[in-house]
Amino acid sequence: MKNNTSVTRILHIFILIFFFHFGLFAQVGIGTTAPSNTLDVETNAAVGGIEINNTAANGDPILQYRLNGTSLITMGVDDSDADKFKIGTTALTTNTRLTIATNGYIGIGVTNPVYHLEMQNNRANDYLAFFENTNATGASLAGYVTGTFNALGGVTNNTVGLASYGVHLPTTGDGLGVWGTSNSSDAIGVQGSIPTTGSWLGFGGLFGGGLGYINGLYNLSDERVKSNIQPITNAIEKLKQINGVSYNYNLNEYNYLTKGDSKTYLGFLAQNVKEIFPEAVAEKQLTVAGPSKMTNSINTTDFKKEIFNVVDYTSLIPVTVQAIKEQQELIESQNNRILSLEAKIALLENRLNTLIENQD
């Protein structure tokens, strides 16, 4: 009996110490006698700290965070979905926020990622991801590939979407909205294209505020890609019907389109050119109204567009060349006629002089 009594007393003392230590302070230390949190695990050995192991054939080892009894975040391995590591709300399969597959693919907002990093969400008028570098000389996002595919790509499946968008936000300075370059002289720095079938109201590339280029501006003109080749005729008569003009842009109605450009330009009126050379004029859709400044939530629905007549000035160069050739033929013909007339006049003068001498 005494032995049993002693054991009972020791057990009571242990229970009192346990409740005193864990009940009042609610801190458990593993590997430490001075826990600083509810559960403090410390070790100085080269071994893992915590292992969560569910030995059942079908079970999810999880770690759950609650606030006032409400489950907020659950993380663990989803045994029912190829043992993917997931972070979700309430449960692993409820509003899954992050998924890491066993092949290392990471999904944010998607539970079956097919890329190393894949994100999905339904956000209106905003970006799915945003990267900010607060350093004045750093970059926010970079892409590099050692193979033969794209370092960075952008695709939109929306009829009014922007596949790629670059903005230089400061209103001063000489920054760049988009910069493309290549280290190979056989490559292309920037390329843009659209299908030329259908209404063809768009552009392969559109620049407002002027277009600058160095080392030439080239148009595809190889004879191999051309068919139905016909000579240009009556070039002089056609050019005579086109009126060259000087003009300023109509800033009252199209200030947004012309970027407030008040300079005086030389050129033609598209309607006038279209009557003579319809091949040199096309209808294109241009933006006439929109936000005063570009922001990170711009899409094409923010802009108002209108269809205008535009002139391909370079297509008039062959007409001008042909007109010069026609004019040169006229000049040579007139020169030959003048020479012939001069010869006749000289002959008449000689005969007249001979008659005068004979009379004397």
Residue pLDDT, tens place only, 161-200: 666 667 666 777 777 777 788 778 888 888 888 887 888 8
Q: Which of 1-5, 255-259, 279-283, 303-307 has the highest mean pLDDT?
A: 279-283
Whether the predicted pLDDT of 25 surpasses 60: no
| Whether residue 82 sits in one domain with residue 33 | no
pLDDT at position 235 is: 96
Same domain, 297 and 243: yes
Domain residue limits at 302: 234-312
> Would 107 be classed as within a structural domain?
yes
187 within some domain: no
Domain count, the chain: 3
Using alpha carbons, select from 128, 342, 326 the residue that is nearest to residue 240. 326
**Based on the domain organization, do 77 and 9 belong to the same domain?**
no
Distance CA(43)–CA(48), nearest Å, equals: 9
**Residue-wise pLDDT tens digits, 253-263:** 888 888 888 89
State how beta strands 265-267 and 245-247 pair.
Answer: antiparallel
Which comes out higher in pLDDT, residue 43 or 226? 226
Contact 307, 285 (CB under 8 A): yes
Stretch 25-49: mean pLDDT, rounded? 77
Comparing 123 with 342, the larger pLDDT belongs to 342
Does residue 239 sit within a domain? yes
Q: Please indicate, yes or no, whether residues 82 and 36 belong to a single structural domain of this protein.
A: no
126 is a domain residue: no
Cα–Cα distances (Å) from 101 to 74, 79, 81, 91, 120, in that order, read: 17, 12, 9, 17, 16
Length of the chain, please?
Answer: 360
8 in a structural domain: yes
pTM recorded for the entire structure = 0.62
User: pLDDT at residue 232 above 60?
Assistant: yes
Residue 76 domain flag: yes
Asked if the model's pLDDT at residue 243 lies above 90, the reply is: yes
The residue out of 272, 287, 312 marking a domain boundary is 312
Q: Are 270 and 311 in contact (CB under 8 A)?
A: yes
Q: Are residues 21 and 67 in the same domain?
A: no
Q: How do residues 102-159 score in pLDDT, each as one tens digit? A: 999 999 989 999 989 998 888 776 777 888 888 877 777 777 777 766 666 676 666 6
CA dihedral 250, 256, 261, 262 (to 10 degrees): 40
pLDDT at 222: 93
- Asked if residue 201 belongs to a domain, the reply is no
Alpha carbons within 13 angstroms on the beta-carbon side of residue 348 total: 6
pLDDT number for residue 269: 98
Per-residue pLDDT, 106: 95
Q: Taking Cα atoms as reference points, which of 105, 57, 55 lies closest to residue 84?
A: 105
Q: Is residue 359 part of a domain?
A: no
